[in-house]
Amino acid sequence: MRAYWTVLSARFRLLLQYRAAALAGLGTQFFWGLIRMMVFAAFLENAGSRSPMSLEQVVAYIWLGQAFLLLIPFRGDAELEDMIRSGNVAYEMLRPVDLYGLWYCRGIANRVAPVLLRCVPMLVVVTLVGWLDWPGLHVLVAFAASLVAAVLLASALGTLMTITLFWTLSGQGINRLVFAAMWMFSGITIPLPLFPEFLQPMLAALPFRGLCDTPLRLFTGHIPLDQAPVAIAHQVASAVGLIVFGRWLMALGTRRLVIQGG
């Protein structure tokens, strides 16, 4: 266990070094948040009962989405990808710890560190401007629990994307497809409740909503507090399912892996 903790904290400290990049990223994210806010305000203007969310809820959802954007694993671990391509992944495999556990811990740090750097200033600013109403303590506890579950889920997905790179050529294409699915079905482009009604059952079943939509809807009160346990259970179950699948795929990938010498 200590080994995993060390990997996690070392990676964490490394990632917290990139403060200038975080600042630039913050600026672009503010811009995107503003555009999105204007677009949705225009859509909801005369929507009346056609919209299942109020404008305040949508605005809060958009800004929370920007604050926690980097939770979503847009690609596999770039360093590990290089290692797989160069053959240095052999070193990783020789380490006396479980490879999946090792990569999963890296994944957690990769998700949490950049989010921490960005979400605090973002949340402070949008709260001061008045775009974000904070709910009561009970809701915040549920939100925090759901965020933790989102991290577990995001790391499972990210690790899975890295593992597909064992099949380098097709892995990149698959990663793009997973990316598209995440972009669409996590709620980061549009809040999931705004999708057409006939798509809602599918969106609710897919694991992607656990990355962003579930915690955000808990925060904005769109999912009532008494349904929080079910929503969080769905996140955890998706995470466990993806971990099991990732482990199986990794076993398959390492069995047929050929490391080129030299």
Q: Which positions lie near other proteins, rule CB under 8 A? A: 21, 24-25, 27-28, 31-32, 34-35, 38-39, 42-45, 47, 50-51, 168-170, 172-177, 179-180, 183-184, 189-190, 194-196, 199
Cβ closer to other proteins: 146 or 175?
175
User: What Rg, from alpha-carbon coordinates, does the chain have?
Assistant: 19
Residue 77 is classified by DSSP as -
Cα distance between residue 242 and residue 233, in whole Å: 14
At closest approach, how far in Å is the CB of 111 from other proteins? 20
At closest approach, how far in Å is the CB of 62 from other proteins? 13
At closest approach, how far in Å is the CB of 45 from other proteins? 7
- Residue 194, phi then psi, degrees to nearest 5: -80, -10
Residue 159: CA count within 13 A, CB half-sphere:
29
Q: Which residue has the tokens 């604050």?
A: 67
Cβ closer to other proteins: 125 or 148?
125
Cβ closer to other proteins: 122 or 239?
122
At closest approach, how far in Å is the CB of 187 from other proteins? 11
Cβ closer to other proteins: 108 or 158?
158
Closest Cα to residue 120, out of 64, 62, 74, 73?
A: 64
At closest approach, how far in Å is the CB of 46 from other proteins? 8
At closest approach, how far in Å is the CB of 58 from other proteins? 11
Residue 133 is classified by DSSP as -
Cβ closer to other proteins: 38 or 93?
38
Widest pairwise Cα distance in the chain: 67
Cβ closer to other proteins: 27 or 224?
27
Cα distance between residue 158 and residue 226, in whole Å: 30
Residue 154: CA count within 13 A, CB half-sphere:
30
